[in-house]
Structures are given as C-alpha cells and as structure tokens.
Amino acid sequence: MTDTHRYLVIGSTGKTGRRVMSALNERGLDARGVSRSTEIPFDWNDHSTWSAALQGIDRAYVTYSPDIAIPGAVETVEALVQLAIDKGVKRIVLLTGRGEEEAQRAEKLIQRPELEWTVVRASWFMQNFSEGAFTGMVMEGAVTLPARDIAEPFIDVDDIAEVATVSLVEEGHAGRIYEVTGPRAITFTQAVAELSEELAREVHYERIPTEAFVSGLEAAGLPDGVAWLLDYLFTTVLDGRNVEVHHGVEEALGRPPRDFRDYLRDAIAAGAWEVNR
C-alpha cells in the first residue's frame, strides 16, 4: 500500500531530526525537513515562518530547540500545535525530556482528540559526548562538568530516531508515551571511564562547582538561554529522579536499546574523536 502522507520534521538538522529525516527518505516518503537554514525556513522565534513549513503537511515530528524546558517554550509549542491542527496536521510525534516539569506540560498540549499523538520522552543523549557539548572536552582529555555522582540511563540518539520514525509512519503508536532510556544507568564518572577504555587513551571526569561551570559558559559566549538550560539540567534534572531504566525502546521497536559501550565503539569507528577529523 502506497504511503500518501506528507511528513514534516521540525529541527531536521538536529541530532534526532536529521536521523528521522534520513529514515523517511530511505523509505521513499514525501518528507519536508525544516530549520532556520532550510529553503523553507522554520524558526521557533519567528511565528511568521510556521505557516509555510506546515503547508500541505499531515504528520509532523516536533523537536524544540534548544530544549523544551526553556522558559516560554510551552506557550510557543501550544501556538504551534494549534496552527498545525488548523492547517490539517493529523499526527504529531513530540520529543521531550525526562524529569522536566515543563516538558510534561508540553506533552499535554498534543493530547488532543483531533490528533494522533505520540510522546517520545528521552533520557540524556549518548551523542552529547561525540556530537554535542562534551565533544571538545573528550578531545582535550578532561570532561569537566558539575554532575554529581548520580547515575543516568543514557540513550542512543539512533534509538530515539527509530522510535520517532515508526511512531510517525506506522500504526499502533497513537496515544502512547514512550519513555526511552538506555539499558543501564551509569554516572558521568563511569561513562567517561568507559569512554577512556574504548579510546585507549586517558580521558578523566572532573566535577567542578556549578558556579564555575556557569561562569565558563558565559565567558565562552554561550547565549543566556543555553547557559541557563545546562545549569538547570545539571542542578535540577540530574538529581536522581531519572535513575530508573524504562523500556520505551522495547515497547516501540520490539528490541532492547543499545548499550553505551556499543555507542562508543561505533562512534570511535566513525572517527568521532580523531584529532584531525
């Protein structure tokens, strides 16, 4: 049976968005990826860009940048969801974060009777070490963060993207909240130790005071919102509330999630931390 739906991926250049976009293209589906830099632009801070991005779309994958926990994000997502419904969107898959009160408020916004909705509620991304904020630290041999000795069941972004893709394309996922985590919870100290072992070179974890971390972010010129977000994630969300492993990947895909070691080996094989990449 031919799939005649038109798909939208908001944040198609992001960690999960570009993977979802690639999966839709591999399936030969009619998919439009949008971000601030695409031909049809989409900017969360510019409502005038939304209508063109949603034109003709009936299924959408929604990610909020930089994070749905940012103050004001819930109200912005609410406006987007209403416009999407008005434009004829019938199915929305929303990416949110575990243990974030703002994220759970946003989840309720898509739980509308006129929508086929799915929430993908994710733990911390493994790829933050290779594609995100911690990459340079790994390259320099010292991951310096304010994270306490509290475990987190890191999730592989490839697993998130696969859950999002099947929820968009296939039947049987509407009305589900998939809480997706990796198969085990580990501390940042453990994660960096495993990374060091797989790389076969010294990388260590050093916990620094939150004040020093935030000052360093500000000195590096990060936008206030990003600095606030990282401070919030380390001081509030990473407090032990998310230690428990959940089984959203198995529920959605019928297979276990990838382990942190598997992610590390694949990232190393792809040259993630090569000095001259």
Q: What is the pLDDT of residues 162-209, one digit of tens each?
A: 999 999 999 999 999 999 999 999 999 999 999 999 999 999 999 999
* Whether the predicted pLDDT of 96 surpasses 60: yes
According to the model, what pLDDT value does residue 31 have? Answer: 98
According to the model, what pLDDT value does residue 235 have? Answer: 83
pLDDT in tens, 199-242: 999 999 999 998 888 787 777 776 666 777 878 888 888 999 99
Domain presence at residue 56: yes
* Whether the predicted pLDDT of 153 surpasses 70: yes
- pLDDT-derived band at 132 (thresholds 50, 70, 90) equals confident
* Whether the predicted pLDDT of 87 surpasses 90: yes
What SS3 class is residue 49?
Answer: helix
Domain presence at residue 174: yes
According to the model, what pLDDT value does residue 133 have? Answer: 81
- The number of CA neighbours under 13 Å toward the Cβ of 23 is 22
* Whether the predicted pLDDT of 1 surpasses 90: no
Q: Which sign does the torsion angle of CA 20, 21, 22, 25 carry? A: positive
Domain presence at residue 271: no
Minimum mean pLDDT among 43-47, 85-89, 144-148, 251-255: which range? 144-148
206 conformational bin, left if phi > 0, alpha if psi -120 to 50, beta if neither = beta
Total domains present in the chain: 1
Domain presence at residue 135: no
According to the model, what pLDDT value does residue 273 have? Answer: 95
Please give the Cα distance from 44 to 54 (Å, whole number): 13
Q: Are 168 and 61 in contact (CB under 8 A)?
A: yes
What SS3 class is residue 219?
Answer: helix
Please give the Cα distance from 95 to 16 (Å, whole number): 9
- pLDDT-derived band at 276 (thresholds 50, 70, 90) equals low
The CA dihedral of 251, 163, 97, 196, to the nearest 10 degrees, is: 100
According to the model, what pLDDT value does residue 66 have? Answer: 85
How many Cβ atoms are within 10 Å of 36's Cβ, its own excluded? 14
Q: CATH no. for residue 36?
A: 3.40.50.720
Hey, what are 157's tokens? 């972004």
Q: Are 253 and 186 in contact (CB under 8 A)?
A: no
Residue 276 burial (10 A CB sphere; 0-12, 13-18, 19+) = exposed
Q: Residue 95: which H helix or E strand, with range?
A: strand 91-97
Domain presence at residue 192: no
Minimum mean pLDDT among 46-60, 112-126, 160-174, 201-215: which range? 201-215
Domain presence at residue 224: no
* Whether the predicted pLDDT of 269 surpasses 90: yes
Question: Looking at per-residue confidence, does 116 or 229 come out higher?
Answer: 116
Please give the Cα distance from 128 to 62 (Å, whole number): 20
Q: Give residue 35's domain range.
A: 6-122+156-180+243-257
Domain presence at residue 91: yes
Q: Residue 143: which H helix or E strand, with range?
A: strand 142-145
Domain presence at residue 235: no
